[in-house]
Amino acid sequence: SFPREKRGTAMGIFGLVMITAPAIGPTLSGFIVEYYDWRLLFEMILPLAVISLLLGIWKSKNVMQQNKNATLDYFSIILSSIGFGGLLYGFSSASSDGWTDQVVLITLIVGAIA
């Protein structure tokens, strides 16, 4: 969490990263695939992912100490999975099966309701 006076700076930095990555990513990965093996793209990410995971575990505070009675709402997780999954599958299938296909319509409706 950032102090109130630093939130604008943090959002600006996050926005800069989100804008820069899609611009640089395809060019850099195209260069790597052209001159090296495509597996290198995944091998390059592995150390970054491990370091990020370890830093996240180390720096994250334990929120369960603040509220030991907090429980996980399994019903909401299931509903969210059905909802997002239905919408994703419906929109993905619409391109090949058409908007009037029964499976597309049913998954979109179920996803929207969930």
Contacting residues for 48 by C-beta, under 8 A, at least 6 apart? none
63 vs 68: CA distance, rounded Å:
9
**66-82 b/e with 16+ CB inside 10 Å = b?**
eeeeeeeeeeeeeeeee
Q: Report pTM.
A: 0.43
**Beta carbons of 41 and 32 less than 8 angstroms apart:** yes
Six token digits for residue 75: 């019903």
**Beta carbons of 68 and 89 less than 8 angstroms apart:** no
pLDDT in tens, the chain (114 residues): 678 888 888 899 889 988 998 889 899 999 999 999 989 999 999 999 999 999 988 888 766 566 667 678 899 999 999 999 999 999 999 988 888 899 999 999 999 998
